[in-house]
Every structure is written in C-alpha cells, then in structure tokens.
Chains A and B, each alone.
Chain A
Amino acid sequence: MTDQHYEWERFTPAQRLARFTIFLGIAIGFMLSLRTVEIIPEFLYDAPSQIGDLFARMWPPDTGSYAVNIHDALIETLNIAGLGTMLALLLALPVGLMSAKNITRIPALNWFAKLILVSSRSVNSLVWAILFVAVFGPGALAGTVAIGFRSIGFCGKLMGEALEECDPGPIEALKAAGAPWTSIFLKGYWPQIAPAFWGITLFRWDINVRESSVIGLVGAGGIGVALDTALNLFRWDEVSLILLCIFAVVIAAEILVTKIRERII
C-alpha cells in the first residue's frame, strides 16, 4: 500500500497555457486598440445632446410622405429580398454539393467550394451592392444580385453541413438498386435535407429583408434609396417615418417566419 496522493486537475498545463495565451492576447489587443484608435473625446461629450437634437427634429414623423415616396419602395425591398433569396438558393445548391465531403470526394473541389463560401460571406452585402451597381447600373437588379451573392456563403455552408449529416443507408440502398444519380438525389438526399433546406430559406429571407432595406444607400434599389434621399435633404421627419416603416416590415417578417417554422418543422 502506497500512500501516494493524486492531484486531480481539470486542465492539463498545455490547456491552461493555451487559455492564458488567449486571455493575454485579448487584453493586449484591447489595450493597443484603445490607445491607438483615433477618437475625439469632445465629440463624445456632446453626443447625448446631439442625439437629443436629432430625435427632436425627427418627431413627429411626416406621415404624409408614405403614399408618395415610401410605399412602392417598401414593396420593392420585399421583392428584392424574395428574389435575392431564390437566386442565392439556386447558386448555393451546386456549391453546397461541391463542399459536402461525402458527395464530392475530390479534396481540391471541396477546398474550392469552401473558398467560394468564405469569399461570399466576407464581402458585406453593401460591398457586393457597390460592385453590382458598377456592373448593372443603379437599381433593383444590382440589389437582387448583390443579396443573392451575399447569401451564397450562408446557404451553401448550411446546406453542405446538412448533406454531410445525411444517413448513408438509404443512399446505399438506392445505389445498390441501380438508381440513376437524379433519383438518388431526389429520393435519397432531398427528403433528409428538406427540413434543413426550408429552415435555411426562411432564416435567410428574414435576414435579407433587413439587408435589402439598406443596400439602397449605395444605389441598389429599395427603401434605402428613399432613406438616402431623405437624409441628403435633411428631411428628418421623413427619415423617422422610413425608419418606423423598416422596423414594422422587419418585425412582420420575423413573426411570419416564426409562424411558418412552427407549421413546417
């Protein structure tokens, strides 16, 4: 019988070192940023009074301008979001298939798909909108394509993950029975990924309603164009009405998505 003591420790020294390094890195990064970022303190001191002034000019909202400038732009925003989401799904499907390791067994293609997905997500929708305004000219077409390209990363990544989680049993059965590739996809994979697919679609549409309300700031159509005009003309009472309308549409879209999700998933 030895009376040796065992010390039970939750983490190994290497784990503790790794955690400590991360905390240290965060602290150093934070301190460095605070010291070097160019903030003018005087602007910060009078920010509350400036914001108060802004709200005073915004109130009351100019309800008369709704029928003139806002209604059509709101509908356009919703259409951009809807069409953009559809375009995104159309484009994301091949990329998702290519990124799923159990379907595409060529590492180079997996890697290429990942590159497309990351590029799509790293470029913000406003930046995509700028690019497509240069290509298609100002208007809803640029906005729709921008929303579509921005969403490829999100939809493609989630679809690829859903495909990778598929149960291989039914697929093998279909293959053994000699089913063609289209049947394997439609009857083997599709029923397994359909709930995920509709969930992704709804979620992305909800996000796209928010995004398509601002891409107009760079000229890509929708309510953002009206917002930009009102801002440039300093018509703050119209700005507040536009903001209220965007708020209402975004909340309505969210409620709609929640209700549909409860029904289908």
Chain B
Amino acid sequence: MSAHSQTLRKPFPANNLARLGWVALAVYTIYALSALDITWDRFVMGLGNGAEFLGEMIPPNFERWKLLVENLIETVEIAIIASAFGITLSLPIGLMSARNLMPAWATWPARTVICVCRSFHPVIFAILFVKAVGFGPMAGILTLIFASIGFIGKLFAEAIEEISLKPVEACKAAGAPFLSVLIYAVLPQVLNRFIGFATYQFDANMRNSTMVGIVGAGGIGGTLFAAFQRFDYDFLCTILLSIIGLIMISEYLAVKVKAVFND
C-alpha cells in the first residue's frame, strides 16, 4: 500500500532552482533599493507632495485652448508625415534585410541601418536632430522617421523570413523577373502583417510625437514642459487629458483600419 503510493508522481513538485531564483530576485531588490537611496520615508513624503500637486492640477484650466489645439494639430501632423515617410522607407529596407531573399551584401547594410535606428531611444535622436536642423517640427519628423524604420524594418524583415518559399520557387520556375517574384509571391504573404505593423507604428508615432517637444522637436511636448517649468499645473492637467484623448482616438482608428484590411 505504502510502496504503491510512493511510486505516484507528485502533482506539484517543488522546484528548488525556481526558489533560488526568487531569493536572488529579493536580494537584488534590496540591493537596488539601497543603491538608489529609495526609502519608505521619502516615498511617504512624496505622497504628501503628490496630493498637493494633484490639488493644483484640478480643476484643469481650459483658458488657453487655442494654443492647445494648435499644438495638438502640429503633433498629429508630425505623426502623419513621419509615419508616411518612415513606413514607406522601411518597406524596401525590410525587404533588403530578409536573409532568405537577398544575398549577404544586401542584408548587411540594411541590417546595420535598422540596428542603428533601433539602438537609441527616440529622444536621443530628437536631441541630435534639434542640434542639426534647429528647433521645430522638422527635427521631430526626422526623429520619428528613424524610429519607424528601426521598428517596422525589423519586424517586417522577420515576417518575410517566415514566409513559405513555395510560391517564390513557382514564380522563379516560371521565369518571372525578380520584381514580379516580390509582387506576386512575397508581398501577398506578408501584406496583412505589414498593415498591422504600419497601424501600430502610426499609433506609436502619435505617442512619441507628444514627447519629442520636451527637447524642442515640435508638437505638444514643448508646451507641456513649459507649463511644468512655470508651475502651471492646471494647464499641465489639460494637456495631459488632451494627450490621452488623442491617443484613445488614434487607437480606435487603428483598430477600425485593421478590421477593414483583415477580412
């Protein structure tokens, strides 16, 4: 009887390695908290400040709605132009970096471009472009073009590398030139995913174009940072609310566009 029960497998065996991992995580947390000088007192003090801050933010101040609307329009314009150029450019770059279609001499440069675009946060690009082309929406547009190439280029290249090669071989066997192979054998397989990436990137560009203004690259971010520095917290609240509203609208539109193309 007892011999029989010992041969049964335990339903939830203890995993010592996982336990060790949790302990290591706890140790790291304590180390990091002390290294960053984060203490409970500071946190509680901050909560008091936070309550005061919120009190000054509410009610939101809609007096300067004209400035707000102008900035919102500029933000949307930056996002639209940057998405149009960025998505268009990332199509050939993504194609070029797909290892199953292109020879090594084409994939290496394309992959380097994508890697450089991806490696830095958009804000860092924004700083450099503000120095290069001056303050204003141009720097923001250039920044977001780079960000779009980095993101969609990579995903698109991965999507192409996952395609079935049978239609490609069929086209080649029938003697189709390279461009026809791309249009009739490769693109139909990845078009839906590309539209998905493109709508996502438009959304991401919209979010980021609200932020590049903080370093002077146009859009609502500049006004937001100025309001923060002048302690206009009630106007800050208005700007935040309008940003959230804008993003919600663009997310809703992205879902609608995807639904149209996915059936």
- Contact at A126–B214, with CB atoms within 8 Å? yes
Contact of B120 among A119, A126, A243 (CB under 8 A): A243
- Contact at B243–A122, with CB atoms within 8 Å? yes
- B113-143 vs A, Cβ < 8 Å mask (1 yes, 0 no): 0000001110110011001111011100100
- B88-122 vs A, Cβ < 8 Å mask (1 yes, 0 no): 00000000000000000000000000000001110
Q: A44-B138, A135-B46, A140-B38 are in contact. Are A22 and B123 (CB under 8 A)?
A: no
- Contact at A134–B53, with CB atoms within 8 Å? yes
Most buried by A among B33, B78, B119, B233: B119
User: With a CB–CB cut-off of 8 A, which chain B residues contact A144?
Assistant: 36, 38
Q: Is A30 an interface residue (CB 8 A)?
A: yes
- Contact at B228–A141, with CB atoms within 8 Å? no
- B225-260 vs A, Cβ < 8 Å mask (1 yes, 0 no): 100100001000000100110111001000001001
Q: A19-B260, A50-B131 are in contact. Are A217 and B120 (CB under 8 A)?
A: no
- Contact at A38–B247, with CB atoms within 8 Å? no
User: With a CB–CB cut-off of 8 A, which chain A residues contact B167?
Assistant: none
Bound-complex Cα distance A30 to B78 (A): 10
- Contact at A127–B35, with CB atoms within 8 Å? no
- Contact at A40–B134, with CB atoms within 8 Å? yes
Closest chain B residue to A33 by CB distance?
B77
- Contact at B247–A217, with CB atoms within 8 Å? no
Q: Is A101 an interface residue (CB 8 A)?
A: no
Contact of A51 among B80, B132, B215, B261 (CB under 8 A): B132
- Contact at B131–A187, with CB atoms within 8 Å? no
User: With a CB–CB cut-off of 8 A, which chain A residues contact B136?
Assistant: 38-40, 43
Q: Is A76 an interface residue (CB 8 A)?
A: yes
- Contact at B228–A187, with CB atoms within 8 Å? no
- Contact at A50–B132, with CB atoms within 8 Å? yes
Bound-complex Cα distance A224 to B25 (A): 26
Give B contacts to A, CB under 8 Å: 12, 25, 28-29, 32-33, 35-38, 42-43, 46-47, 49-50, 53, 73-74, 76-78, 80-81, 84, 119-121, 123-124, 127-128, 131-134, 136-138, 141, 207-208, 210-211, 214-215, 221, 224-225, 228, 233, 240, 243-244, 246-248, 251, 257, 260-261, 263
Closest CB of chain B to A217's CB: distance in Å? Answer: 6
- Contact at B119–A250, with CB atoms within 8 Å? yes
A-B contact pairs, 19 of them (CB 8 A): A30-B81, A32-B77, A37-B77, A39-B137, A40-B136, A40-B138, A43-B138, A51-B132, A54-B132, A123-B240, A126-B214, A130-B225, A134-B53, A136-B46, A136-B50, A217-B215, A221-B36, A243-B124, A246-B124
- A184-217 vs B, Cβ < 8 Å mask (1 yes, 0 no): 0001000000000000000000000011011001
Q: Is A110 an interface residue (CB 8 A)?
A: no
Contact of B29 among A51, A86, A123 (CB under 8 A): A86
Closest CB of chain B to A35's CB: distance in Å? Answer: 10
Bound-complex Cα distance A103 to B84 (A): 40
Q: A37-B78, A127-B224, A141-B43 are in contact. Are A135 and B35 (CB under 8 A)?
A: no
User: With a CB–CB cut-off of 8 A, which chain B residues contact A38?
Assistant: 74, 136-137
- Contact at A217–B133, with CB atoms within 8 Å? no
Closest CB of chain A to B16's CB: distance in Å? Answer: 16
Interface with B: A1-9, A77-85, A161-169, which one? A77-85
User: With a CB–CB cut-off of 8 A, which chain B residues contact A69?
Assistant: none
User: With a CB–CB cut-off of 8 A, which chain B residues contact A221?
Assistant: 36
Q: A79-B32, A140-B38, A144-B36 are in contact. Are A118 and B251 (CB under 8 A)?
A: yes
Q: Is A15 an interface residue (CB 8 A)?
A: yes
6 extra A-B contacts, CB within 8 A, seeds A127-B221, A135-B53, A136-B43: A32-B77, A43-B133, A44-B133, A54-B132, A141-B37, A210-B121
Bound-complex Cα distance A37 to B215 (A): 18
Bound-complex Cα distance A121 to B46 (A): 23
